[in-house]
Amino acid sequence: MCSGIGLTLKLSLALVAGVSLVRLGGAYQQRLDRYGEITAVLDIQQAKLLKAQNRFDHLFATGGEQRLIQEQDQWIAPNRLRVVWKQPGREAAAPYPTVERP
């Protein structure tokens, strides 16, 4: 009877140890997956940072102002006039006469 109880205890401890190892294996795999995701995101962000640092260094070097101006394609030519249309607010009166009627 004592040997039966001992065998049952040993089997139950072995079962608990096996289940614990399986759970630890799953947790370890999840941790590795998360680590992989985080390192991938970190690599992307480091590449973006390096690109931004290079651009910053490039723009603040000698002649960087001219390079910045050349990159901008929305600059208006000197012989052009920019027209900006704005809708007057309902509470503000129009500064110029208009043909619109309320």
Q: What is the pLDDT of residues 8-57, one digit of tens each?
A: 999 999 999 999 999 999 999 999 999 999 999 999 999 999 999 998 88
pLDDT at 60 over 90: no
Q: How many domains does the chain have?
A: 1
pLDDT tier at 83, thresholds 50, 70, 90: confident
Residue 100 resides in a domain:
no
Q: Of all residues in the chain, what percent carry a pLDDT higher than 70?
A: 80
**Whole-model pTM above 0.85?**
no
Domain coverage including residue 55? 2-67
Q: How far apart are CA 31 and CA 23, in angstroms?
A: 12
Residue 89 lies in a domain: no
CA distances from 26 to 1, 22, 36, 71, 73 (A): 38, 6, 15, 52, 54
Mean pLDDT of 55-77: 77
Amino acid letter, residue 39: T
| Confidence category of residue 87, pLDDT binned at 50, 70, 90 | confident
74: tokens are: 């929305």
* Per-residue CA distances from 74 to 12, 68, 82 (Å): 76, 12, 11
Q: Is residue 85 part of a domain?
A: no
Which residue in 77, 81, 57 sits closest to 68, CA to CA? 57
**25 within some domain:** yes
| Per-residue DSSP letter, 76 | P
CB of 76 closer than 8 Å to CB of 82? yes
CB 69 within 8 A of CB 75: yes
